[in-house]
Structure 1
Amino acid sequence: MKKHILILGLLLLSMNVEAQQGDGGFPKSHKLPAQELKQVQKQIFSEPNIAALRSEDAETDGKGIAPWRFGYNNHTQLNTENAGSWIELADGGKIWLLSITCENALTVNLTFENTVIPEGNELYVFSPSGDFVLGKFTSKHLYKGTLGAELVPGNTVLVEYYIPEKNKNKAGFVEVGTVTHGYRSSNEFQEKVFGESGSCNMNVNCPDGSPWVNQRNSALMLVSGSNGFCSGALINNTLNDGTPYVLTANHCYSNPASWIFRFNWQADGCSDPGSSPSFQSLSGAVLRARRQPSDMCLVEITAGALENGTVPEAYNPYFAGWNNSNTPPTSTISIHHPSGDIKKISFDDNPASAEQAMNSTEPASSWRVQWDRNTTTEGGSSGSPLFDQNGRIIGQLWGGGASCSNLTSPDFYGRVHNSWEPAGSDQSNQLKHWLDPNNSGVEFIDGLNLGTPAAALDASIGSLEGAAGTVCSGSVSPSFRLINLGSTVMTSAVIEYSYDNGATQTINWSGSLNMYESEVINLPVNNLGNGEHTFAVEVVSVNGSSDENAGNNALSSTFTTYPNGVEVQYDLQLDCYGSETSWVLENSTGNQLATGGPYPDNFNPPLMSTEWCLEEGCYKLILDDTFSDGISGGGWCSTTGYVTITDASGTIGAIAEEDADFGATTTINFCTNQVVGVQDLENEHTISVYPNPTNGKVNILADVSGTKRISIYSTTGMLVTSFSTEADTAELDLSEKATGVYSVHIETKEGVVVKRIIKQ
């Protein structure tokens, strides 16, 4: 709603920004003579050390450790008893006025604490010109005496507290606990860093964003700790009751009682508008759950401006659905407020992968995405939702290197799967208690538009397993979950599935599923050749009728099978200087298969675990250190790094702690413990290494005609010896070698056999 404010007897048209926070209304001070207003007590805060603040920001922006800081907090106790000016009004009421200036600030915002507003009294915050007014605030806008007020452009704000004549004996109490000096915002337009984000960011209402209107309406910006921007999203629960839960990042956490939630701050179209768009705000929340290993924070908005316990319908709220399964999405989007700017959208058109990242102590803590369509995220995007291809939240932004100047760098989102019901958790550090309060056990639900009833017949497919990503064999055994999202009991369903767009197979399911109940359906094993494949499954009908919501009836996946693949695990224990460490995995022809690092520096460095599916053969892991001291730690770092590479047969490559100081680079040569080239090589020939274990002498028998090359490697990948022979037998003497496990590689014209031998 446009505001028309009378100030000092002049009619001033409302501001460029329509900022709706509070119930609307007009400060009473506009009726006062100008001379009387000049006598109002002023509180002036000097400018902080901006250079030092920006230097600190450079160390934290995008690291997933704090909100994107836009301001400096001046902590104070300015209240109706020790500051400001009391002015009697002609009607018998009175007002308390306080002028607050932050020298050279771009914006000023206030956080009220210990505040009591009796019914009938009113609180306002506004700019001196009157073109930006927040309020009126009443008792319903407080949560435990706390209220966070939106950012006011410029360096000065006025606070007005009005007590009508009938409430002269009900003065209440108002206290400004924090005055935030805004120092980071756009020079072009000072209001709330509008236009601050990088130019490559795509406005959410560009054509690419048109399929995601509901998800757009769930995404919001929040102000944390009075001086930091983060992003978040309204998220649904299985009661579909509109409980105003907001999912954001744990590193955005501060006392949520003072948080400000900004809705619908977005461009109407694809181009940036000439001035800041309108928005609505709510203030105040209570913490429900938070968890560090997956960077999750869930709060519930408690603002008195809620309608029937939820966000007002005028805000067009959408409570996004979620998916807590472990299944990688085929594509993802994120909607966010980069650098506290208007709402943007980012696209990863490829599957995300589960990885241990952001110094988490937990394997597969995060979804790794790499943005497409020239889109990105930035500081201030932290906590933003990651939606899967079905528009359901699967994570919240933790951090990463993506920016307009680094479009190929990945971002990492803490996974809903990890935050759902982790081992040993309770309601304070899990999502399940809050988002599945009726203990339905479903793995995903769709979103909620207020006032829209659930469909009667609505079957959904979810939790696709066994036919996604990399399959380290030639056969797949898919399974999926059939879920009833409709209000009618599901008693039958016709389901079809196919591989590689081939012949369709039909399942005639029968049973009894109430709303949100589900059943896992396992499909027969299917043998496929080496290479890339597709799988698709779809519900055709429910209870003999058409599904009323066909948008969630189908799932498909792309996966790659390796019939002779070997599952290999790579464990890298970093030292504290992760930023110095990076690695490359190469095959025998020198092609890069995977890379990693550099990593964040950390006083308690994590163990980084990566799983590979490798074809049978030999490989090189090249580990680099820019400081030329390997992963040995040193200085104030008490952690020494190490490496182990294992397959089903045991360790096939390693760097022990005593060898961690390898200088600038080292190479681990390793081979998977299977035959390369001819699968039945050992069935057609006698190939053996004996005695095993050995005290020194080793006999090698390989009755394969032609030249054989025999190589022995230590577990660190170092070549011990290598030679060629035409004979079927050879003898090696390891008596002078250290005790431990060695790999014996026997290369023939038909393939390679790798044997393990233990030197005692």
Structure 2
Amino acid sequence: MKKSYLLITLLVVLFAAGLSFSSFAQVGNGGTPPSFTQNLGDDIDVITLPAPDVQALQREDEIAEQEKELYRFGKVIWTDLTPENSGTWTELPDGGRVWRLTIKAEGALGLGVLYKHFQIPYGGKLYLYNKDKKQLLGAYSNATNLKGEEFANEAIRGDEVTLEYYESGKILGDLKLYIHGINYIYRSPAFTLESEKASGACEVNIQCPEGATWQDEKKGVARIEILIGGDSYLCTGSLVNNTSNNCTPYFLSAYHCSEGASASDLNQWVFYFGYEASTCAATTGYYQVSITGATKKAEAANTVGSKSDMLLLQLNSTSFGTYVPYYNGWSKATTASANGVGIHHPAGDIKKISTYTSALTNYYTTHWQVIWAATVTDHGVTEGGSSGSPIFNNSSLVVGTLTGGSSYCDAPNDPDIYGKFSYHWESNGTTSAAQLKPWLDPSSTGATTCPGIAYPCTGTSPVANFSGTPTTVTVGGTVAFTDLSTGTITSRSWSFPGGTPTSSTATNPSVVYNTVGDYNVTLTINGGADTETKTNYIHVVPAGTGGCDELLYPLAGTMTYSYMNGNNSYSDEAKANYISSFSPYDYIQGVYIDFCFTTNNTGSGNCTVAVWDDNGTGGAPNTVLGQKVVPISSIVANLPSTEDIADFTYVEFASPIDITGPFYVGVILPTTAGDTVIITSNADGETSPGIAWERWDGGAWYAYTDASSWEQNLALAIFPDMCEDASSAGEFFANQISVYPVPSTDIVFVELNNDMIKDASFEVFDSFGRKIDGISSKNITDNKLQLNFNSCADGIYIIHFNTPAGKFIKKVSIIR
């Protein structure tokens, strides 16, 4: 995704001039302070604050870093500043007025303003800028006000910050600004020189090859500037999704990042998203947006062996501007991940990625232990500032948060430990204040995983669905199952009673059935988020009974229609699907087709349904193996069809077409003016690689995927009705179905003379393949039916019987 930096025009000009500094992008309303365009004078109040003892702070930090404790970067200088007791007011000609205050603290790399009260009235605007006016924040307005009155600004570079507040003559409400502290930044990668690298030399930028497949997940990870009492620290954490997919801004980190922080402190935490380099080799980067303030929802202490060091916050705002954050998915599974990554901000530096290629191991019951691996770029580890960062499994789901460890660039093979997400879930205590479960699974779905989702979370919940091919097999036959679920799928659990194996977690498993019977199949996705069961879906018949099935049905995805799939303006001559796999079937007895558009239905126009071999140049269609002319007037058209296959046009060949190798099945389109048909298909990418082909005007065949054609991966809604050769057993069952009298005037009797076929269902088609729905039936005995054709015209009709022993066809003639 193209990055969007929230910079006002002034900053763009400065960058063009070759100036380089971090762009802090707290979402504001833009604009220009009045003093930038008007001569308001330089006589404003300046408050000079005493600087802390930086050398003493650095000595403390050296000791803390040896223990891999929190990375401190600032010290708060407490103040008591308001527009009532400090600053300078200036009246403006338009009836408005401006208040300005400059705050200095010698030697600071940056200054952050902390507010005990922050309420901007309607009509008011607040700006902050540094001494040379090259960095500008704001305007902050009434829209910036949060539910609590505490607030914190992004830090201003340098040891001087000026606040400038403008209010018009039509202001509504009162200004409440109480500056109770200035965060004196004495070390931070945000304020180091471009040639310096704040973190260790072995760390790997998220834009390096190692991060190529983690570009969504990185957008949920943020650097946190933490206030605890009078000190400022750096940690990392991540937005996390919940099973309602509703974009509640839950943010997961580590308890030890917040230990001792009050609710007031939390309201002044600043979360920086998108702080990363633009290239693999770069040493500096830019923030894209920041959010101020959070509320604690749940926590668990950092006590390895009994507590898992968990912190769940809810951000006070979702004012992300043009930045599109990603709410990372999670897994509460207790099984160890085989490989994955950690994404973090070591020493508060630009976003980094560390990779593990050997499985996580248990570190007591509460934590995972990880050993980082060398990769193509370097050997990423963790540092102070990485605390609270997520570790992901190989399904891109969060499985833990960083507690600490002993890895360093000079000891990259030493382990780190992460609090287990599975323990965070509900093992730290019995109340919602100690669990993730009530917040991240608010409807108690029981899901074990939850996929990630991008803001503004407009995606739909995942829905389980699947197909099997074929659905009727002889004993010992194999069914290939395809997951057709929609949404983001993070896990699958299949159940195959009667099959081998009886269960699977594969995406598209194959199952062998060795016992005659009808069997259910169940697919559960995302740990219980949705389940689909197809009852009596697989029919296993004795060997040699000549089972039949419709290949390709149903297509993956959503049926649609397009001018591509007809004659169109290019005068295409034919459309077909390529079938490379058709075991265990031997012949085609007919074809189901979903024609989604027809014209001249009352005319004399025809199209032809055909089967070709693949012996043409480059495997294209060549010799016609069989065909049947179909009047357009007989075609069933749907716009688009969402009906069962029985409502499609069914074309039965005069004689079965034997198949010995890959083949094409399709439609030779009408070319007479006014005669038009279009075939339904799925959408691009829903069958990949695509199997649709077309014959151009002039006779050359091209795959839809070809650069000369449509460059589309899809399949047409053309389903060959294929069968196995019937042995004596199959012929026996077929002969147990009696239909009489033939011919008949109205009433036809059907007898099913074997227990294996007694529970048959049936459908009736005319000779053009149109399903006939107006035929009444009644049971005479357990195995005898009466069918009434009195509403049908004279002609030949085909009855399709679906039985546990296979699929059989009988013909009847109605002659009056």
1:64, 1:398 within 8 Å by CA — same for their partners in 2? no
What is the deviation of 1:546? 5.2
Match of 2:83 in 1: 80
Q: Does 1:159 align with 2:160?
A: no
Match of 1:315 in 2: 323
What is the deviation of 1:186? 5.1
The change in CA–CA distance for 1:330 and 1:31 in structure 2 (over 3 A counts) is same
Q: Distance in 1 between matches of 2:552 and 2:219?
A: 30
Match of 2:563 in 1: none
Q: What is the 5 A alignment of 1:209-248?
A: 209-225=211-227, 227-248=232-253
Q: Does 1:449 align with 2:454?
A: yes
What is the deviation of 1:29? 2.2
Q: Distance in 2 between matches of 1:187 and 1:159?
A: 21
Q: Secondary structure at the match of 1:437?
A: coil
Q: Does 1:24 align with 2:26?
A: no
Out of 177, 186, 189, the position equivalent to 1:183 is 186
Q: Does 1:298 align with 2:300?
A: no
What is the deviation of 1:492? 7.7
The change in CA–CA distance for 1:125 and 1:320 in structure 2 (over 3 A counts) is same
* One-letter code aligned to 2:132: S
What is the deviation of 1:222? 1.2
* One-letter code aligned to 2:324: N
Q: Secondary structure at the match of 1:277?
A: coil
Q: Distance in 2 between matches of 1:5 and 1:319?
A: 33
Match of 1:285 in 2: 294
Q: What is the 5 A alignment of 1:600-749?
A: none
The change in CA–CA distance for 1:382 and 1:354 in structure 2 (over 3 A counts) is same
Match of 1:581 in 2: none
Out of 188, 206, 209, the position equivalent to 1:207 is 209
Q: Distance in 1 between matches of 2:486 and 2:368?
A: 26
Q: Secondary structure at the match of 2:59?
A: helix
Q: Secondary structure at the match of 1:271?
A: coil
Q: Distance in 2 between matches of 1:228 and 1:128?
A: 25
Match of 1:510 in 2: 521
Q: Distance in 1 between matches of 2:315 and 2:25?
A: 16
Q: Distance in 2 between matches of 1:100 and 1:542?
A: 72
What is the deviation of 1:181? 1.1
1:234-253 superposed Cα distances (whole Å, 9 cap, x missing partner): 10000011111111111111
Match of 2:114 in 1: 111
Q: Distance in 2 between matches of 1:424 and 1:435?
A: 16
Q: Secondary structure at the match of 1:57?
A: helix
Q: Distance in 2 between matches of 1:506 and 1:282?
A: 55
Q: Distance in 2 between matches of 1:189 and 1:543?
A: 62
The change in CA–CA distance for 1:190 and 1:158 in structure 2 (over 3 A counts) is farther
What is the deviation of 1:486? 5.2
What is the deviation of 1:277? 2.8
1:230, 1:384 within 8 Å by CA — same for their partners in 2? yes
1:114, 1:173 within 8 Å by CA — same for their partners in 2? yes
Q: Distance in 1 between matches of 2:133 and 2:39?
A: 15
Q: Does 1:266 align with 2:268?
A: no
Larger Rg: 2
* One-letter code aligned to 2:242: N
Q: Distance in 1 between matches of 2:120 and 2:8?
A: 24
| Alignment gaps of 5+ in structure 1 | 357-363, 461-481, 522-540, 549-760
The change in CA–CA distance for 1:186 and 1:259 in structure 2 (over 3 A counts) is closer
Q: Secondary structure at the match of 1:217?
A: helix
Q: Distance in 2 between matches of 1:91 and 1:443?
A: 61
The change in CA–CA distance for 1:384 and 1:514 in structure 2 (over 3 A counts) is closer
The change in CA–CA distance for 1:46 and 1:206 in structure 2 (over 3 A counts) is same
Q: Does 1:425 align with 2:436?
A: no
Match of 1:69 in 2: 72
The change in CA–CA distance for 1:237 and 1:115 in structure 2 (over 3 A counts) is same
Q: Secondary structure at the match of 2:154?
A: coil
Out of 49, 56, 80, the position equivalent to 2:60 is 56
The change in CA–CA distance for 1:509 and 1:319 in structure 2 (over 3 A counts) is farther
The change in CA–CA distance for 1:189 and 1:512 in structure 2 (over 3 A counts) is closer
What is the deviation of 1:332? 2.5
Match of 2:368 in 1: 367
1:542-600 superposed Cα distances (whole Å, 9 cap, x missing partner): 9977599xxxxxxxxxxxxxxxxxxxxxxxxxxxxxxxxxxxxxxxxxxxxxxxxxxxx
1:348, 1:372 within 8 Å by CA — same for their partners in 2? yes
Q: Distance in 2 between matches of 1:344 and 1:547?
A: 37
What is the deviation of 1:456? 6.0
1:83-106 superposed Cα distances (whole Å, 9 cap, x missing partner): 212222222211221111111011
1:375, 1:404 within 8 Å by CA — same for their partners in 2? yes
Q: Distance in 1 between matches of 2:396 and 2:552?
A: 22
The change in CA–CA distance for 1:423 and 1:377 in structure 2 (over 3 A counts) is closer
The change in CA–CA distance for 1:512 and 1:413 in structure 2 (over 3 A counts) is closer
2:46, 2:101 within 8 Å by CA — same for their partners in 1? yes
| Between 137-146 and 259-268, the greater mean CA deviation after superposition | 137-146
Q: Distance in 2 between matches of 1:434 and 1:64?
A: 30
Q: Secondary structure at the match of 2:314?
A: strand
| Between 133-142 and 236-245, the greater mean CA deviation after superposition | 133-142
Q: Distance in 1 between matches of 2:485 and 2:66?
A: 40
Taking every aligned residue pair, what percent have the same amino acid on both sides?
A: 29
Q: Secondary structure at the match of 1:101?
A: strand
1:118-167 superposed Cα distances (whole Å, 9 cap, x missing partner): 11211122112111111111233233111111121111111112221112
Out of 112, 127, 137, the position equivalent to 1:124 is 127
What is the deviation of 1:403? 1.6
The change in CA–CA distance for 1:186 and 1:516 in structure 2 (over 3 A counts) is closer
The change in CA–CA distance for 1:77 and 1:484 in structure 2 (over 3 A counts) is farther
2:222, 2:272 within 8 Å by CA — same for their partners in 1? yes
Out of 390, 404, 407, the position equivalent to 2:395 is 390
* One-letter code aligned to 2:33: P
Match of 2:418 in 1: 413
Q: Does 1:101 align with 2:104?
A: yes
Q: Secondary structure at the match of 2:285?
A: coil
Match of 1:2 in 2: 7
* One-letter code aligned to 1:447: G
Match of 1:700 in 2: none
Q: Secondary structure at the match of 2:343?
A: strand
The number of equivalent residue pairs is: 482
Q: Distance in 2 between matches of 1:336 and 1:459?
A: 36
What is the deviation of 1:171? 3.5
Q: Distance in 2 between matches of 1:491 and 1:385?
A: 26
| Alignment gaps of 5+ in structure 2 | 1-5, 302-306, 467-482, 514-518, 533-550, 559-816
1:47-66 superposed Cα distances (whole Å, 9 cap, x missing partner): 2111221122223237465x
The change in CA–CA distance for 1:104 and 1:237 in structure 2 (over 3 A counts) is same
Q: Secondary structure at the match of 1:123?
A: strand
Q: Distance in 2 between matches of 1:487 and 1:54?
A: 47
Q: Distance in 2 between matches of 1:505 and 1:277?
A: 52
Q: Distance in 2 between matches of 1:320 and 1:459?
A: 24
* One-letter code aligned to 1:170: G
What is the deviation of 1:115? 2.1
Q: Distance in 2 between matches of 1:509 and 1:24?
A: 61
1:681-732 superposed Cα distances (whole Å, 9 cap, x missing partner): xxxxxxxxxxxxxxxxxxxxxxxxxxxxxxxxxxxxxxxxxxxxxxxxxxxx
1:527-554 superposed Cα distances (whole Å, 9 cap, x missing partner): xxxxxxxxxxxxxx99977599xxxxxx
1:484, 1:517 within 8 Å by CA — same for their partners in 2? no
The change in CA–CA distance for 1:429 and 1:264 in structure 2 (over 3 A counts) is same
